[in-house]
Structure formats: structure tokens, C-alpha cells
Structure 1
Amino acid sequence: MNYETECLIPDRFDQVLHLGENYFNELKSKDIKPSRLSKTVSAFANASGGDIYIGIEEETRTKKRTYNGFASIEEANGIVQMLLELAPLENFYAITFLKHPVMNSYILQLTVMKTAAIVYATDGTAYVRHNAQNDPANTPEKLRRLELDKGIAQFENESIPEAMLVDATASKIMDFFSSNVVPNIEKTQWLIKQKLVRDHSLTVAGVMLFTDEPQIFLPKRSAIKLYRYKTSFVADRDNLDGQPLTIEGSVYTQIYDAVKKVKEIIEGIKKLGIGFESIEYPDETLHEIITNAVLHRDYSIATDIQIRIFDNRVEVESPGKLPGYVTISNILDSQTARNPKIVRLVNKFPSAPNKDVGEGLNTAFEAMEKLRLKPPIITETDTSVLVVIRHEKLASPEEIIVEYLQTHDSIKNGIGRVITGIKSENSMKTVFYRLRDRGFIKLVRGYNYWVKTDQFDRLVTEQFK
């Protein structure tokens, strides 16, 4: 058995004992049967991974928890044997024995990693983690959904009966491709050779790459919806600026049209500065993240990509979970494609949107850093991947407030929250209080705004060089 041991300090033990059970965490009794535990292991491996802490009892009615750990490491051998049986050829877990700070016994921390293949429990069923539940993929439809989520099955290879070969061979995008990339090709034979045709119909990949209006064949799952919200906070109908825009077309044209339109909208957004200044995001960041959303989305999900533009951020939400073994923590270092044909063939186009295959997200992050902006935030939901591109500087809230006051005479809480990205009014007050205590600002009572003190300029020179 390969394992690590860690001696818990009392505070750390208390944290484990009171850990909330959720999408990533589960607490179990040491008396749990390995076969039953295998359901939770399967669920974590088939979702985004997680931690199982074994050695904690919970009373069903009161939910009160008590510690009841393993007397020895060997006592957990049955669990280890079960893990070996689930996926003997894949190292998808790590074991750490957490030693009680007083008693000579252990909690077993089982860290389960997301797997590229489906992991089945000992009852022969695959489970998937949803919130704090282990849901069985016990129907052909659920198992198919799991295969698509993991990238084992590729929806891009499904044929679309209504999409005829002529829809591609007579398209403008095919003419553009053939005249610039592979002159004098016989289009039909080339499409067949590239496995873009099945049963005399185009596949999803063929439709998305080489028809002018894929949305005819794949409605509500092949376009981009673009929203502009005139707010820095939550999206709601009251803050929606006009009607949402729909961007359609082939994969290639859709990417470039979406990036162009997003940039146009952003250029019209002003931020508080010397007068009003235009918002600036790196072109590379917008391009790479939108490209990623289009190329790696799950085309089996009947939802369009959504791009939401706020006063202080851009949100790009792409349907489908992260494929294969990719997780939020390894996404910048891992490469796997849900739609390998689309990714490969769009790379052959002139000025390919994914010319640096595998480097897109890293380029996006590096471009933000060059502009001294905070890196994008990537999160995964049950059905999508969301990337938030923030217009927030790589600086402390205090530095941002001081920079603002160098060109303004006063500041209010609302303005402070807009320029720092802080959502809570009380948290913003705390920032102002820290600057007050350091002598930078003072409160104008009765008017609830802050102004610079007489020593502001000197303190800036001394402390914010």
C-alpha cells in the first residue's frame, strides 16, 4: 500500500470533523462496506474528483458527528483492495492517514482524481457526483451523457441526416478554404477522406466547419448569444442594454465575428479615471477564450455559448463540462480535445484562430498579466465551463483607492466598490478605515464621502513608490 501520514493539530482535526459535504467532500464511517464506498469513489472519479474522509460517524437524526478512527493503518486494507479492483491499471487516487492529535488512531483521507475513463462501482454501475449526491448512470441515456462529458464519445462524429454533401461543397466557407489551403481538391472526396461524412450526410464536425449556416442543422446549440449589461454586478433584465445579439456561421467565421463584436462593445464602455477612460482588455485574451469556447464546447447540449459583457468584466460560458482528465487545477497544463476533428481542421485555415494549439489559455493569462490585470477565473458547473475576464488591477484595494485619489478630490463607497471589484459595502468600508488609520484619508461626516488629508501626497511618495 502506498500512502502518506500526517499528524493533525487540534485545529486541523476540528476542521475535518466539521467539514461540509458537497461536490468535492464526503465523510464516511470506518465501518462502511467497501462495496458501498465504491459508489462514492466512482462518483468522484467520473466528475471532478474530491476527498473522502473515512473515520467519522454521523448520527442520522441530529447530524452530530463523532470521531471513530482506524486503530491501525492495516485496518484499512479492505478499502485499498476495493480501489485496486475498480481500476487496476489507473493510478487515480491518493491515500493519506491523518493521525489524531491525542489518540493513536487515524482518519483515512482518500483523494480521488478525475479519470479519463469511466470508473464503475463494484455493483457494475457508474456513478456521477452532483452536489453532495452520488447519482447512478443506470440508463443508456445517462451513460451516453457521461461518455460525452468525459470526451470518450465524440458528438462531432454524429451524422446530421438533413445536412447533405452539397451544403458543404457549395458553401462560401468551403470555397474560401479550398482556394487558400488545398487548391484543386475534389471537395466531396476530400470531405469523405477527412471522415466528415457518414451515411451520405455531413457529421456535426462537417456542418460546423464547412457549411455557411450550421444553425439550420443544429439549432440552439451552434451559435453565440452576446449580452451587454450596464452594471458591474449581477445580470438581470433591467440592466440589459438592448436585445441580445446572435452570432452565427461556421466555426471559423463565428470566432472572428464574435471577437470583433465583443471588442466593439468593450470600446464603448468607460471607467472612472481621469474624466472617463475606455476599458481595455488584451486582444489575445478575448480571442483565445472565445476560440476555446467555440472549439471545445459540447455540441450535444442544446444551449448556445453565452458571452456577457459587464462594466467591469466579460463572462464566456461554454456548454459542456471539462473533458477527459482536465480539471480546473490542471487546465493550463493539460491538453485534451472534446472535438479533435474540429480542432485539427480549423487549424488548417488561413490565420487559424487556434494557430498555437495547446497554448491558448496560457496566452490569455499571460496577456492579462502584461496589462497588470488579474488573471481570468475559470469555474465548472454541472453543464458548462465559465471563464470570467475581470477588469481588476493586480493591486491591493488600498493601492487602487490611492491611485484614484491622485486624480480626484473625493471618493464614495459606491465608486470604491466599482473600481476595486469589492461587492460588499462593509468590506469596502474596511478598506477606507485602513487608509484612514494610515493617515491618507478622512471622512466628511454628514456627506459620507472620503477626502485626502494634507499629508496624502507625502504618504504616497513614502509608501506607494
Structure 2
Amino acid sequence: MFETVTISADQAATLLERQEGHFLDFKDKRIAPAKVARAVSAFCNADGGDLYVGIGERSPGFQWDGFSDPEDANQLIHALEDVSPFGTDLDAEFLLADQLPGYVLHINARKSRAIRKTADGKIYKRLSAQNTPVISEDALTALRRQKGLESFESETLPIDVDVVTNSEAIIEYLLSAVPVAEPETYLRKQHLLASGKPVVAAALLFADEPQACLPKRCGIKIYRYSSEEQSRDRLVEDPVTVEGALYKQIYDAVDKTVEIVAAAAYLDEDGLRSVKYPHEALHEIIANAVLHRDYSVTDDIHIRIFENRIEIQSPGRLPGHITTSNILDERLSRNPYLVRHLNRFPNPPNKDVGEGLNTAFESMKKLNLRSPIIEEGENSVLVVVRHESLASPAQQVVEYLNSSESIRNEQARKMTGIGSESKMKKIFESLIEAGEIEHKPGTAGRGYAYQLKQKRSDSV
């Protein structure tokens, strides 16, 4: 049923030296099928991972002890098929290693769109190196939200309906988007009212001050630092807080970020210098953070502006099967009500689901800047927009010297984004060896500089 892959003894040794953790689990071949199903359920309900059956724990580490025949693993395979059909969230192969006994069953479990249960109906989730049962209703609700199967945006709020039916935000929206509807009628038909009460999405979209309805859950804070490091003593001024209904909040946050970046000239030995980012990239990343954050998490969106980068951190992990690897290709909206209604505004701040980040990446590429970096933390998603050229550091140095007389180590580090003085020095040394540059005569100490290799004619 599955492919058999032969690996070398060295590759097997490397595998056996690894430690079990959040993404890796080893199981003895004699394990009960139910326990293997538990491990796979846990991986699928978390971030995915690799399970190897046929590697047992022996002091002081792990030992290869595979199945004599692949058919000996049939019971395990049937148990896994009950958790998730192979090809959906699971792929498998048998591994044979030189001079080691038997076939090891390797299962690659991916982060699943659905909640995966074992045959007895139990649900597990991988936390560090443990397969933890999901028992309480709160834990199950949290898992459903992480999967995108339900959203906090549809929860009702204990606030008066007038907050969303008699606001400037709803009136402006209906005049431009749905000019024939009465506020309460419209909101009820759109399922933004439940049992006569506004849901979270209604307050975020149409309350003039949604932050009063959802304190510490829907603001944006913008910080500017005077260095490349995040520390309180490097804050240039008090953080700026941006609030209001989401449509206005997105545009206000983008405008304020652009304004701060434009004013953020940094002083170095060459005088004041400014850093520019594509407006389109900042808009799309900030809009994406507002649209797809987890509003059940008590935290604001944080935008941090440094000398060499901007960081946009939004509360909540990536929803469902979305990972940092597939985020530009896969589509899943955590907050479909927000996405749909913001797209109806004139000059909507959002494109189709998932398209915003693709646009941000393209706009960075047009300016020859490196693509943003997306990182997932324990309970947040961080997008880092670095002011760093696509060209290699060596290429940037040569291009700079084509229009300038010389360059110093500090200048090159500022330009390339390399933080280490010694690493930059090695790049200069490689360029000298390649005959591209040379030491600029008459410079030393802090003023030590490099210039393009001068062509010298031979004397006769």
C-alpha cells in the first residue's frame, strides 16, 4: 500500500539521535493501535508532525526495531484510517535502513481542517512532547475556533442594540453599500443580531466605539523605536493607539504607520537617513491582521517600527489548516462576517480572502526588497517587513561603490541589514579576493574604508 524507502545507516543514525517534541514522536512496534491513533489525532489537531512506529526507547536513546514485514503493521494502519483517511491529512511510507532490522512505518500527519477523533470518540492535541486529551467544553471551543469551525465573531454581546443600529458607522455604510435597508432589518437579515443582541462582528463593524464593547480586544498600538532592538528606553515617544470601527481603524492605522515611518529619520555617521516601505504592502498586512486576528484573545494588534524593519503582531494563531508554509496558497477565513462586510464598503480595505498577503509580497518584490517573514508564536502571528534588498550583500556593496567613492563596514551593515561587524568584514575579504574591491588608501581605524579595485597600467 505504501512506498518503501531505503535510507543509509548514517541517515538512520541521525534520525535516532533526534529528540521527541511537538513535531516528532517515536513508538515501539508493539504499541496498541489505539495509542498510535491517539498520537495521530494529537498531531492533526495541533500543528502536524512525524510519527515513526518501529523505533523503541532504549537506554540511553532510541533503537531501530522495525516490523519483519510491512503487513505486520496492518492493524495500526486501519486504526489510523479511522482517525483520518490517508491522503487527506496523512501520508505514510516504510523505511528500510542498511544493517538495521525491519521496516519502520513513518507517518507524516498534517495540521487538519477538521477535528480528528480516535475510534472511541476522544480528541487529543499535541502539546510539546505530550498527547493531551481535550476534555473540557472550553478547551473544545478553543480548538473549534483554532480550526476555523466556529468563530468568536458570532458570539452575542450584552450591549444595547442601539449601539450598532443608531451609529454613524452603520448609517454611512448603508448609505453607500445598501441604500434601501433600515439598520436593524439589515443587521438581522445578515445574522449580525441574535436574540435581539448584537454579535461581536456587528460591534466591530458598526459600533462607533467597539473598544467600549470589547475592551483590550480590538485596538491597534503603534510603537517607534530609535534602534534595531525592542526595549522601553528605545521608545521614541509614547505608543499611539488607534481605535474605532474596523473600516476606519484600518485606514487610520495605515496612515499613522506611514506618517511615523516618513518622520523616522535615523542618525548615523553619514547624517540623517530615512527608510521607505511600499504603502501597498503595509496596507495589506495591517488589513490582514485586523481581518483575521482572533478576537477572543484579550490583546491588541501591535505595530513596531524599528530602524531596519516593521513588525505587525496580531493575536491568535493561524486558523484551521493554515501554516506559515501554505499561507500564500491556501484560503480560510477565521472571521467571514468581517471579511464579507468590509469588502462591501466603498474602496474596500480588503481583497478576496488570502489575496492581501500575496499583494504585499509582490509590492515588496517590485521595490527589490525581500519578502516579509511570517512567524507563528504560541498565541500570535508576527509579520516582519524588513528593509533589506533582494540583492546579495556583496552585490549591494559593489553596486553602491559604482556610484560612491568608498564604503565603511558600518555603512555596509546599515545598507545590507547585516548586524555582525565580523560577518560584514568577511564579505569585504571575499570581494577583495575576487578582485572587486580594495582597501582605500589613507583610511584606518573607525574610518577604515573600501573602494572599487583600481585598474593600474604597468609601468614601462
Q: After TM superposition, is the score higher than 0.5?
A: yes
Conserved 8 A contact 1:73-1:97: yes
Conserved 8 A contact 1:441-1:450: no
Q: In the alignment, which residue of structure 2 is the partner of 1:463?
A: none
Q: 1:451 aligns with which of 444, 449, 452?
A: 449
Q: In the alignment, which residue of structure 1 is the partner of 2:50?
A: 51
Write the deviation string for residues 133-170 of structure 1: whole angstroms up to 9, x where unpaired: 333222111111111111112111111012x2211122
Q: In the alignment, which residue of structure 2 is the partner of 1:420?
A: 416
Q: 1:96 aligns with which of 74, 93, 96?
A: 93
Higher deviation after alignment, 195-204 or 261-270: 261-270
SS at match of 2:157: strand
Offset of residue 369 of structure 1: 0.8
Q: In the alignment, which residue of structure 1 is the partner of 2:64?
A: 67
CA distance in 2, matches of 1:212, 1:346: 15
Aligned residue type for 1:338? R
Q: 2:296 aligns with which of 295, 300, 305?
A: 300
Write the deviation string for residues 321-363 of structure 1: whole angstroms up to 9, x where unpaired: 1112212221111111111111111111010011444421111
CA distance in 2, matches of 1:421, 1:193: 52
Higher deviation after alignment, 208-217 or 394-403: 394-403
Q: 1:152 aligns with which of 149, 160, 174?
A: 149
CA distance in 2, matches of 1:378, 1:237: 24
Change (3 A) 1:26 1:433: farther
Q: In the alignment, which residue of structure 1 is the partner of 2:371?
A: 375
Aligned residue type for 1:200? G
Conserved 8 A contact 1:313-1:389: yes
Q: In the alignment, which residue of structure 1 is the partner of 2:235?
A: 240
Q: In the alignment, which residue of structure 2 is the partner of 1:252?
A: 247
**Taking every aligned residue pair, what percent have the same amino acid on both sides?**
43
Q: 2:217 aligns with which of 211, 214, 221?
A: 221
Q: How many corresponding residue pairs?
A: 452
For the pair 1:120 / 2:88, whether they are aligned, the reply is no
Unpaired stretches in structure 1, ≥5 consecutive residues: 459-465
Offset of residue 226 of structure 1: 1.1
Change (3 A) 1:331 1:355: closer
CA distance in 2, matches of 1:208, 1:242: 28
CA distance in 1, matches of 2:64, 2:439: 52
Q: In the alignment, which residue of structure 1 is the partner of 2:28?
A: 29
Unpaired stretches in structure 2, ≥5 consecutive residues: none
**TM-score, scaled to structure 2:** 0.91
For the pair 1:183 / 2:179, whether they are aligned, the reply is yes
Offset of residue 186 of structure 1: 1.3
Aligned residue type for 1:452? Y
Q: In the alignment, which residue of structure 2 is the partner of 1:346?
A: 342
Conserved 8 A contact 1:130-1:382: no
Q: 2:126 aligns with which of 90, 104, 129?
A: 129
CA distance in 1, matches of 2:455, 2:130: 57
Q: In the alignment, which residue of structure 1 is the partner of 2:108?
A: 111
Offset of residue 19 of structure 1: 2.5
CA distance in 1, matches of 2:417, 2:128: 28
Offset of residue 209 of structure 1: 0.6
Change (3 A) 1:4 1:449: farther
For the pair 1:194 / 2:193, whether they are aligned, the reply is no
Q: In the alignment, which residue of structure 1 is the partner of 2:39?
A: 40
CA distance in 1, matches of 2:53, 2:322: 26
Q: 2:427 aligns with which of 423, 427, 431?
A: 431
Change (3 A) 1:422 1:454: closer
Offset of residue 273 of structure 1: 11
CA distance in 2, matches of 1:431, 1:10: 37
Change (3 A) 1:404 1:54: farther
Higher deviation after alignment, 312-321 or 64-73: 64-73
Q: In the alignment, which residue of structure 2 is the partner of 1:409?
A: 406
SS at match of 1:159: coil
SS at match of 2:326: coil
Aligned residue type for 1:300? S
Write the deviation string for residues 102-146 of structure 1: whole angstroms up to 9, x where unpaired: 346333221001111111234533222233333322211111111
Conserved 8 A contact 1:405-1:411: no
Aligned residue type for 1:227? Y
Change (3 A) 1:310 1:411: same
| Aligned CA-pair RMSD | 2.5
CA distance in 1, matches of 2:70, 2:120: 26
Higher deviation after alignment, 361-370 or 8-17: 8-17
Offset of residue 449 of structure 1: 5.9
SS at match of 1:334: coil
Write the deviation string for residues 178-199 of structure 1: whole angstroms up to 9, x where unpaired: 1112224211111111111112
Aligned residue type for 1:328? T
**TM-score, scaled to structure 1:** 0.90
Offset of residue 435 of structure 1: 2.2
Change (3 A) 1:421 1:84: same
SS at match of 2:150: coil
Q: In the alignment, which residue of structure 2 is the partner of 1:9?
A: 8
CA distance in 2, matches of 1:432, 1:70: 55
Q: In the alignment, which residue of structure 2 is the partner of 1:361?
A: 357
Write the deviation string for residues 186-232 of structure 1: whole angstroms up to 9, x where unpaired: 11111111111112211001000111100001001111111112222
SS at match of 2:52: strand
CA distance in 2, matches of 1:449, 1:85: 69
Aligned residue type for 1:131? S
SS at match of 1:317: strand
Offset of residue 24 of structure 1: 2.1
